[in-house]
Amino acid sequence: MVSKVKCKTCGSEHKYKNPKSPKKKSSPSPNRHREKNVKVDPIFYKRVVTAPAQWEVKKNEMKPKHLIKNYRTQDTYQLKDVIQHHTFGLGFVEGIISTTRMDVLFCDTIKLMVMNTELRQL
C-alpha cells in the first residue's frame, strides 16, 4: 500500500488518499436548524442591526439650520454633535468614551472614532 505520493501541482509529498474510498458522513444533529438558542452579541446588534433605524430617526429630527461640523481628528466633540465625515458621511456623536475616543452613529453602523489628537509630523 502506498502511504505517500508526490503532488503534481505543488511538488510536495502528501498522504495518499484513495479517490474512490467512501467519505464518512456525519449524521446531522437534531437541533441543527433550531434557532431559538442563537445568541446575538448585544454590541453587534446595537452597532449594526439597529444603527440604520436610529440614524434615520436622528436625521429626520435634525433641524434644517443645525450646525454640522466637518470631522477632523484634531477637534474636540461633545455628545449630540453632528459631523460630516469625508468617507462615512453624516454622523451623530452618540457617546464620549475618553478624551480621545467617541462613538459616532453613521447610516450603516456605529463607529469608534478618534478626536482631540495632534497631527504627527513624519
Residue 15 within a domain: no
Residue 79 within a domain: yes
pTM of the model: 0.60
CB 69 within 8 A of CB 77: yes
Residue 26 within a domain: no
Burial of 91: CB neighbours in 10 Å, binned 0-12, 13-18, 19+ = buried
Structural domain span for residue 108: 40-122
Q: In what order do the strands lie in the sheet with 101-105?
A: 68-70, 82-85, 89-96, 101-105, 110-114
**How far lies 104's CA from each of 32, 55, 63, 78, 100, in Å?**
37, 10, 19, 11, 13
Residue 71 within a domain: yes
Kindly state the average pLDDT of the residues 41-46.
65
Residue 113 within a domain: yes
Residue 39 pLDDT > 90: no
Residue 5 within a domain: no
pLDDT digits (tens, 9 = 90+) for 56-115: 989 999 988 889 999 999 999 999 999 999 999 999 999 999 999 999 999 988 899 999
Residue 31 pLDDT > 70: no
Q: How high is the pLDDT of residue 120?
A: 66
